Amino acid sequence: MRVGFIGFGEVASTLARGLMGEGVEVYTCLEGRSVRTKELARSMDVQLCSNNQEMAKKAEMIFSAVTPSQAVLVARELDHIQGVYVDLNNVSPATVKEALKNVGSSDTVDAAILGSVQRNGLKVKIIASGAGAEEFEKLNGYGMNIEVIGSEPGQASAIKMLRSAYTKGVSALLLESLHAAYRMGIDEEVLKYISQTEGPDFKESAVSRMTSSFYHARRRSEEMEEVVKMLSALTEPFMSKATLESLVALADKLGKLDKRPANMHQLFQKLDKPDHQG
């Protein structure tokens, strides 16, 4: 099996590492990419192509794992591909349909990752819909955890968007309330008492959620834009608009981060004194 990745960040490198362990050949293209992406790809035995079109000729499956704002743009670059095109980005049903319509292949897949790739690795749950979904599901034979939920593009991303409204909203609330608690010196106590309501695993998942929102604030703000876009057509999204606003403010404040904070205190220290503010 040969799989090509457009974008080589957290999702691509994690899935690539797992797939390579199962004997899959992995390709990507580093033209125009950042130092972080180049270092990630070069630290693994990934085969490099000079552009995405060349990669599409070699790979049986192409995964798009860029940032939400780039999903349509990168799909447009591929006017002819032989294999299956899988869009893994967190985008609204309207955006994924637009992206897949632009790919020169009829075997396209709307795929939605449910959960943290960092924590679950290759076994992270992925739901999929679209004409190529059953072909994509064959990667379960290489250790993936894909479930086909329908034949139409937009079905998987709709579920993902509604789930995101909840998970990102909760993460934003946690960051806000625990940051205030940290400044008052009572963050551990607040976490302890919420855990008594939410259950024993709450602390670990709360810290993981806050750290991910913090580290990926820019990308998550793009994802929330997609959520708000979808919800606005169906209801009045007061809460999701506030989550979007808080993620944009966080991303503007922090700039691009090199690494995740190791714990909650490091996170709040950084929030109170971002690097670029000296």
DSSP for residue 216: T
CB 31 within 8 A of CB 48: no
Instruction: Please identify, using beta-carbon distances, which residue of 5 and 182 lies nearer to ligand NAP.
Output: 5
Residue 47 as a binder of ligand NAP (CB under 6 A): the answer is no
**Range in contact with ligand NAP (rule: CB under 6 A) among 4-12, 132-140, 176-184, 198-206:** 4-12
Closest CA to 152 of 114, 109, 102: 109
Per CB under 6 A, contacts with ligand NAP among 101-140 are: 113, 116-118
Residue 223 as a binder of ligand NAP (CB under 6 A): the answer is yes
* Binding residue (CB under 6 A) for ligand NAP from 49, 74, 156, 271: 74
Closest CA to 190 of 177, 199, 207: 177
Burial, 224: exposed, middle or buried (Cβ in 10 Å; 0-12, 13-18, 19+)?
Answer: buried
Cα-based distances in Å from 14 to 80, 119, 241: 27, 10, 31
**Range in contact with ligand NAP (rule: CB under 6 A) among 68-76, 100-108, 151-159, 238-246:** 68-76
Instruction: Please identify, using beta-carbon distances, which residue of 156 and 174 lies nearer to ligand NAP.
Output: 156
In the complex, the smallest distance separating the C-beta of residue 65 from ligand NAP, rounded to whole angstroms, is 4
Residue nearest to ligand NAP (CB): 9
* Binding residue (CB under 6 A) for ligand NAP from 97, 168, 209, 219: 219
Residue 15 as a binder of ligand NAP (CB under 6 A): the answer is no
Each as own residue / partner, the long-range contacts of residues 237-246 (CB below 8 Å, 24 or more positions apart, any chain) are 237/165, 239/165, 239/169, 240/165, 240/169, 242/172, 243/165, 243/168, 243/169, 243/172, 246/172, 246/175, 246/176
Residue 34 as a binder of ligand NAP (CB under 6 A): the answer is yes
**Range in contact with ligand NAP (rule: CB under 6 A) among 60-68, 93-101, 233-241, 252-260:** 60-68
* Binding residue (CB under 6 A) for ligand NAP from 36, 57, 80, 265: 36
Residues making contact with ligand NAP (CB under 6 A): 6-12, 33-34, 36-37, 65-68, 70, 73-74, 88-90, 113, 116-118, 219, 223
